[in-house]
Amino acid sequence: MPVKRIKEFIKSALINFIENNIGNGKYAILLSIFVLILLRVAINVVFYLINSFDSFSFDLINYFHSVILIVTLVIFEYQKLKNTISKIKQKKEQFFKDYIRISVVVVLIMLLIMLFVENNSRLVYNTNTLSYITTIDIFSIIAAYIFTKMMSFVYKWLILFKNKYTESIILVLIILALLSYVITLIEIIFNQQIMSSTVNVIIYLTIFILIFSITNNFRWLATLTTSKKNILLVTTSVTLLILFIGFFSIQQVIQVRQDINYLVINYNYRMFLMLAAIVFIAYSIKLFFVLIVSLPTAKIIDKQTDEINLISNSYKNIISIRTDFNLLLKKILHDTKVATEATAAWCELYKKNSAKKHVEVPFFEGIDVELIYKLHKNSKLKEMLYDIEEPTVIETVPTSSYWRFFIKFIPEANSVAIIPIISNKRRIGTLILIDKKEYKFNEESLILMNTLFDIMNVVYNNVKMSIESIEMHKELELGQKIQAQLLPLSCPDFPSYSIDVHSKSSKEVGGDYYDFVKLADGRSCIIIGDVSGKGITAAFIMAYIKGIVSSLAPLANSPKELLVLINSAFEINQIDRKLFVTMLAVRIDDDDGNITFARAGHTPLLAKLSNSCQFYQPAGLGIGLINNGIARDFSFADKIEEFTLKMNKNDFCVLFTDGLNELRNEKNEEYGLENFKNFISNLEVNEENIASEVNSLIINELERYSEMAEQRDDLTILTFSFNGK
């Protein structure tokens, strides 16, 4: 009985080990290597005993053994990737760790190979011994495993950042590798070289070019911090250098000692190692060049990333802490100081119904509060701060005759940023940042300062209402108010163009958004968007998007590039994974009627050009869809298309949100895109004030159709017309 139980226990333990470890690939590779090593040793012993190391049979068995081992390693690595690749969430962080890890291993194995090469290049004894051949075989198997991990790494990240050509090119690479092995087999069988070094070079060069060409999804590297870029650059440089030196050394010795088949690496493994190395080298060279190109802008990107994180954190705090203005202000102060890397920061509030001389400093960081109160004993400073009504930076305090006295009280205040907090045109406080470096705060800082100015003022103006908005309709009213305050008060003047906007919130409050920004090249861009969902959260997310757009627009050169940057920022700092944003960006290219636009899942652009009326709907996914898993297998940038249109005099385009086409009448019938297109096609307007007249006629048409039915969604209509030069 005890014996039977012991047998059952051993059997159960073996089954559990196989299912839990071998089955999921944890120990399968090590086990397969061990078995193949034993088999390799057994083969060597047999052929040593019959003194046939130079025989055709030994070469053929050696060849098939190496092929079986390599195929086994590849299959196991592929199985491991299948189980883990879909679980990777933080791709950038994982790539960084993976590349550093594989590079360290590759460098170590290549240094070991170079050491063997140096020793073996001076060999004068017989290399056809059992101990020598077995040692080289075992080392070759270990090297094959390491180089399989190299190929696995490249395959993994090609798939994670794939484009539409990736899988086809990988198939071509596999065919080229198989072709090389088939030719090698024929050479062994017929004992005749049929593949010249030229053919080898052509195959290797083709593989290099293919890998280099499909490794094109490194845009995300721009968002890495400068320190991580530097680490990757050094790692890439060292790895490439060691690989080049290692393979050069091996080639030199092979040319000198052509009589030795077992020189450092079993000759049957050399082709696989070369193929794997070329794949990894091509990938690393592309990575190296992308890093070199991105380094000049690395500090700018770091700054933008910090600013985006600051805006994101501010809105997260607004959503999670709606009823405590002081706590929100404290968090905004801290996040602002961290994002700007300021030496110190403080927030001062001015009591209601009291003289403006009375100052309270509830929050401060990096400075003694007594210094602040001493500073306020200077009546001139109180008046100067109190009268500032918009964000202001003093780039260099020591050379400013107006602000120079500031450093008498606070010596480290060589650069100052001032952000007023205003409620209903009444000054209630100030957020002040100081830095010991001159020019730390400059004109570029004003973009962030203005965004913070909007955030704090919206928060203060509405936080009391939020406290009282226990009932749903009160909260929705708050959302409408926030939404209205963050939309532009008026349309900018564009030379040769006229613009008119109509925006109306529904009772449920959606997340309709529009704005006008300047891109990196100074050209104007019109933005219209819609946040999924309803209620106050959608309104806050819309406000968050406004902040993101304001920060990123100066970095983008095109509508597509702007949408890609917004999606990347949204992916990094997504507040609610259930929410996504649709958006349409239209760039005014020149004063001749040329426009370029791109779409991220938004309703199409309707253009009436000459006598034609047409919807334009370039491909594009909604912002945030990839990150929340709806479209995880796609690259956002690859799915965004750009269109260009030429407008003639009196032509016009209409941008709108889905509140238009989803408008319903009392019979619950949807208005639809086709009805809208037909209406615009038959529309006749005067040549003066085309944009405003078109909008008025559209509103009349929608009111006629809805028959006073309740509006279920926000409605935004933005029309712009070309007036001619």
Which of the residue ranges 7-21, 136-150, 649-663, 684-698 has the most confident prediction, judged by mean pLDDT?
Answer: 649-663
Q: Is residue 475's pLDDT more than 60?
A: no
What secondary structure letter does DSSP report for 265?
A: E
Q: Is residue 30's pLDDT more than 70?
A: no
Judgement on whether residues 274 and 207 belong to the same structural domain of the protein:
yes
Q: The tokens 């845009």 sit on which residue?
A: 219
In a domain, 642, yes or no: yes
pLDDT of 474 reads 56
The pLDDT confidence band at residue 260, using thresholds 50, 70 and 90, is: very low
Q: The tokens 């990347």 sit on which residue?
A: 568
Q: Is residue 12's pLDDT more than 60?
A: no
Is there a contact between 624 and 666 (Cβ–Cβ < 8 Å)? no
Which of the residue ranges 315-324, 402-411, 573-582 has the most confident prediction, judged by mean pLDDT?
Answer: 402-411
Q: Is residue 355's pLDDT more than 50?
A: no
pLDDT in tens, 511-531: 788 999 999 888 999 999 988
Q: Is residue 459's pLDDT more than 80?
A: no
**DSSP H stretches of helix in 257-324:** 267-294, 298-320
Number of C-alpha atoms within 13 angstroms, CB side, residue 25? Answer: 13
pLDDT of 563 reads 93
Judgement on whether residues 203 and 276 belong to the same structural domain of the protein:
yes
Rounded Cα gap, residues 152 and 280, in angstroms: 10
Judgement on whether residues 493 and 458 belong to the same structural domain of the protein:
no
Residue 102 structure tokens: 């594989």
Q: Is residue 285's pLDDT more than 70?
A: yes
Q: Is residue 488's pLDDT more than 50?
A: yes
Q: Percent of the chain having pLDDT more than 70?
A: 70
Is there a contact between 525 and 585 (Cβ–Cβ < 8 Å)? yes
pLDDT in tens, 402-414: 888 888 888 889 9
Helix (H, G, I), strand (E, B) or coil at 514: strand
Judgement on whether residues 291 and 355 belong to the same structural domain of the protein:
no
Rounded Cα gap, residues 711 and 659, in angstroms: 8
Number of C-alpha atoms within 13 angstroms, CB side, residue 684? Answer: 0
Count of beta carbons in the 10 Å neighbourhood of residue 402: 10
Q: Percent of the chain having pLDDT more than 90?
A: 18
Q: Is residue 615's pLDDT more than 90?
A: yes
In a domain, 90, yes or no: no
Mean pLDDT of the chain: 77
Q: Is residue 254's pLDDT more than 70?
A: no
Among 296, 312, 339, identify where a domain stops.
Answer: 296
What CATH number is associated with residue 449? 3.30.450.40
Judgement on whether residues 640 and 513 belong to the same structural domain of the protein:
yes
Which of the residue ranges 315-324, 543-552, 637-646, 707-716 has the most confident prediction, judged by mean pLDDT?
Answer: 637-646
Global confidence as pTM: 0.50
pLDDT of 580 reads 84
pLDDT of 606 reads 96
pLDDT of 597 reads 97
The pLDDT confidence band at residue 570, using thresholds 50, 70 and 90, is: confident
Number of C-alpha atoms within 13 angstroms, CB side, residue 3? Answer: 0
Residue 575 structure tokens: 């507040």
In a domain, 315, yes or no: no
In a domain, 236, yes or no: yes
pLDDT of 534 reads 67
Q: Is residue 690's pLDDT more than 80?
A: yes
Count of beta carbons in the 10 Å neighbourhood of residue 279: 23
Q: φ, ψ for residue 442 (rounded to 5)?
A: -140, -165
pLDDT of 124 reads 42
pLDDT in tens, 179-206: 777 776 676 666 666 555 667 778 888 8
Question: Taking the C-alpha atoms of 32, 35, 39 and 42 in order, what is their torsion angle to the nearest 10 degrees?
Answer: 160
Judgement on whether residues 520 and 410 belong to the same structural domain of the protein:
no
pLDDT of 26 reads 53
Q: Which of 641, 494, 656 is nearest to 561 (CA)?
A: 641
Q: Is residue 448's pLDDT more than 70?
A: no
Total domains in the fold of the chain:
4
pLDDT in tens, 72-87: 878 777 777 776 665 6
Judgement on whether residues 555 and 619 belong to the same structural domain of the protein:
yes
Question: Taking the C-alpha atoms of 566, 567, 571 and 572 in order, what is their torsion angle to the nearest 10 degrees?
Answer: -30
pLDDT in tens, 629-671: 444 556 788 889 999 999 999 999 999 999 899 898 888 889 9
Higher-pLDDT residue of 126, 366: 366
Among 427, 462, 497, identify where a domain stops.
Answer: 462
Q: Is residue 17's pLDDT more than 60?
A: no
Helix (H, G, I), strand (E, B) or coil at 606: strand
Judgement on whether residues 443 and 542 belong to the same structural domain of the protein:
no
Q: Which of 617, 653, 453 is nearest to 546 (CA)?
A: 453
What CATH number is associated with residue 485? 3.60.40.10
In a domain, 45, yes or no: no
Judgement on whether residues 437 and 356 belong to the same structural domain of the protein:
yes
Count of beta carbons in the 10 Å neighbourhood of residue 487: 17
Q: How large is the average pLDDT for residues 215-224?
A: 66
Which amino acid belongs to residue 330? K
Which amino acid belongs to residue 268? N
Judgement on whether residues 453 and 513 belong to the same structural domain of the protein:
no
Judgement on whether residues 67 and 101 belong to the same structural domain of the protein:
yes
In a domain, 38, yes or no: no
Q: What residues contact residue 223 under an 8 Å CB cut-off, 6+ apart? A: 92, 301, 305, 568, 572
With vertex at residue 608, the alpha carbon angle to CA 604 and CA 612, rounded to the nearest 5 degrees, is 110
In a domain, 302, yes or no: no
Judgement on whether residues 186 and 231 belong to the same structural domain of the protein:
yes
pLDDT of 515 reads 92
Q: How large is the average pLDDT for residues 259-266?
A: 52
pLDDT in tens, 126-154: 456 777 777 777 777 777 778 888 888 88
Q: Is residue 617's pLDDT more than 60?
A: yes
- DSSP bridge pairs for 656: 717
Residue range(s) defining the domain that contains residue 565: 478-722
Going by their DSSP bridges, the two strands 415-423 and 392-394 should be labelled as antiparallel
pLDDT of 381 reads 72
Among 462, 497, 525, identify where a domain stops.
Answer: 462
In a domain, 485, yes or no: yes
